[in-house]
Chain A
Amino acid sequence: MSDLRMVVCCKQVLDPEAPPSSFKVDAKTMRMTLPPDIKQVIGQYDEFALEAALRIRDKAGGKITVLSLGNNMARDVIKKSLAVGADELVLLEDAAFEDSDSWSTAYALSKAVQKLDGYDVIFCGRQSSDWDAGQVGAGLAELLGLPVVTLARKVEAVDGKLRIEQVIPDGYQVIEVDTPAVVTVTSELGNLRYAILKGIMAAARKQPIVWTPADLGLDTTEVGEPGRRLQLNRLFQPVKEAHCEMVEGENAAEAGANLAIRLREAKLI
């Protein structure tokens, strides 16, 4: 079998690991914000997806193309994918892509995938780390008429097929699927490897390919906000009030015993 041509969809997002209190909604634009000193990142599940592709290439060879959609993407953030070893980075980058939903994102990505020089596997994170929709992988599969295997925790290329361990509620199942296929990846697959210096140097020399809606044959009504199927009407943060009764003691052990007594008094146990 010839080398696998792998596509990994990566989204640049606000850092989901930022302290919860630092997330603030801009009610006017209906966008989430973080303080400017907290850098954006590649979505955590997308990083696991990239790691899945890198592991296959470690063993079986192949080519990895990273696709990302957005506007004004920070090059040092998204080029991390090149630094850890992706062969090629294609950005769907234009103001018209702003405020996309799962539909307009998957639609544009499906056109970009078809413009590539062939593909065998498309990897996506199980869900984005911002809107948590979990739709783009399944959506791409439907738009391209491909099978999809969701929630992969291990992916191997075996005899021209993919062998995938899929997480199910009480364990996992081993699935074999023909290529081309879409695979969505979950956190148990493991963290994305660190970039080594050689990779960082090589990434610095590479320039991403940039495609606009016109390059994909897309009308501006089909992308970004106008292309949405799901309309965002309100984004808000419910006010949380602490209501925690702190139980204390002379030391931690006594506090533990006092907690038991308190829970008994409150008839909770």
Chain B
Amino acid sequence: MKEYKGVLVYGEVAGGKLSSTTCELLGCGRKLADELGQNVACVVASDAPGDSVAEAGARGADAVYTAELTKDAAGSAAVHVALAAQAIAAAAPAVVLIGHTALGRELGPRLAFRLGAAVATDCIDLQIDPDSKTVVMTKPVYGGNALAEFAARAAPQIATVRPKAMSAGEPNPSHPAETIQLAAEPATEPVKVLERVQEEVTGVKLEDASVVVSGGRGAGGAEPFGTVLKELADVLHAAVGASRPPCDNGWAPEALHIGLTGKIVAPDLYVAVAISGASQHMAGCSGSKTIVAINKDAEANIFLEANYGVVGKFEDVLPAFTQKLRELLTD
């Protein structure tokens, strides 16, 4: 039987650099590999890799598998599945780490089923079991109402990891890494992208914002997202977000959706307005340093999660809150 050793990170590139999630995976992968006394490999397959190959080395990869892709291939999950399978055949890693991102949500399961391996998706913690030296993969289940610990019964052990759940660590530019070229994988699936539509979101980008103001089902319609929530966000230089119901109802674009099936944010300050605090929403914001909740229902679950709370109708609370903030911040 083939011996599986080491950790393989499937990297993603954004704007000519490794994505922040990939940096987190390398931070986590390096730790796991050091505990096992083994190596880290990283795949960087992109149409515009920029400095990301060198960056992967600096972030702890001992070997970087690269592939130059066309723009179409870079956007095809099927191409990444084939490249990942190729890298795994070459590196025979014991552990494969993939971001639980738009790509990773598809790549992880497809790869696992293609290889006959096991994948735990949306993991928030990975630890080496001291006895078996296998990975304990922890993931929230039941919409975040419980945690489950899994072990793989088939090799390699694949995990998709929730963004912002791991820390990236500091880069070390002198860390040596060898570069290995992967063979090109043509896009063969009968899948064609006809059109890409970007939904206009103005202001601060949600994932990068240090303050987020979010509205929920209790907002009752689209209007507060353009008025009281936006005014509060403007004063705080914050990004506007939403829980799932406003997005499903078309009150806010899907790009603002924070939660289990939306974006994951971890700002310094998260202001939850008229959000009940369902576990599925908290999955997207529980990494926030401070949570402030404004809700008319004193029994709402959000008050179990928040650091500061006001019980009251947002229509009454927000204008005064925003006005007072404006005064305090211009002093």
Q: Which residue numbers of A lie inside 8 Å of B, CB to CB?
A: 14, 16, 19-21, 23, 25, 32, 102-103, 106, 126-127, 129-135, 137-139, 141-143, 147-151, 153, 163, 167-178, 181, 186-188, 190-191, 228-238, 240, 242-248, 251-257, 259-264, 266, 268-269
Contact = CB atoms under 8 A, between A and B. Distances in A.
B290 to A, nearest CB: 5
Contacts of B269: 263, 268-269
A229 B109 CA distance: 12
Nearest to B253: A171
Given A173-B195, A232-B150, A242-B303, A147 B106 contact: no
B255 interface: yes
Contacts of B110: 138-139, 141-142, 148
Given A135-B121, A148-B106, A246-B311, A257 B153 contact: no
A231 B191 CA distance: 34
B201 A147 contact: no
Interface of B: 77-78, 102, 105-106, 108-110, 112-114, 116-122, 136, 139-143, 145-154, 189-199, 201, 211, 236, 244, 247-248, 254-255, 260-261, 263, 268-269, 278-280, 290, 292-294, 301, 303-313, 316-325, 328-329
Nearest to B250: A188
Given A176-B192, A237-B147, A16 B142 contact: yes
Top-3 shortest CB links A-B: A252-B312, A256-B321, A252-B316
Contact of A230 (B102, B119, B301): B119
Given A234-B148, A237-B146, A261-B324, A134 B105 contact: yes
A235 B142 CA distance: 11
A235 B119 contact: no
Contacts of B139: 132
Nearest to A150: B106
A42 B322 CA distance: 42
A167 B254 contact: yes
A231 B132 CA distance: 14
Contacts of B261: 126-127, 186-187
For the complex, would chain A's binding face be called helix, strand, loop or mixed by DSSP majority?
mixed
A14 B142 contact: yes
A226 to B, nearest CB: 10
Contact of B303 (A32, A244, A252): A244
Given A135-B119, A262-B308, A171 B198 contact: yes
Contacts of A261: 324, 328
A227 B247 CA distance: 38
A240 B142 contact: no
A259 B308 contact: yes
B126 to A, nearest CB: 14
A236 B269 CA distance: 29
Contacts of A268: 268-269, 290
A242 B261 CA distance: 25
B146 A23 contact: yes
A122 to B, nearest CB: 14
21 contacts: A132-B140, A134-B121, A139-B112, A142-B110, A170-B199, A170-B255, A172-B254, A175-B193, A186-B261, A187-B247, A228-B153, A232-B148, A232-B150, A238-B147, A244-B304, A244-B308, A246-B310, A252-B310, A256-B319, A259-B308, A259-B321
A243 B307 contact: yes
Contacts of B304: 240, 242, 244
A132 B307 CA distance: 28
Please indicate which of the listed interface residues B136, B151, B191, B260 has the most CB atoms of chain A within 10 Å of its own CB: B191
Given A175-B191, A261-B328, A268-B269, 4 more contacts: A142-B110, A168-B196, A177-B190, A244-B293
Q: Which of B116, B120, B143, B201 has the most chain A CB within a 10 Å cutoff?
A: B143
A150 B310 contact: no
B193 A174 contact: yes
A167 B236 CA distance: 29
A143 B109 CA distance: 11
A229 to B, nearest CB: 4
A229 B152 contact: yes
B21 to A, nearest CB: 12
Contacts of B290: 268
A260 B324 contact: yes
B120 A253 contact: no
A168 B193 CA distance: 12
A12 to B, nearest CB: 14
A231 B308 contact: no
Contact of A177 (B149, B191, B254): B191
A153 to B, nearest CB: 8
Contact of B316 (A133, A138, A253): A253
A130 B142 contact: yes
B278 A172 contact: no
A16 B151 contact: no
A40 to B, nearest CB: 13
Given A150-B106, A233-B151, A269-B328, A178 B307 contact: no
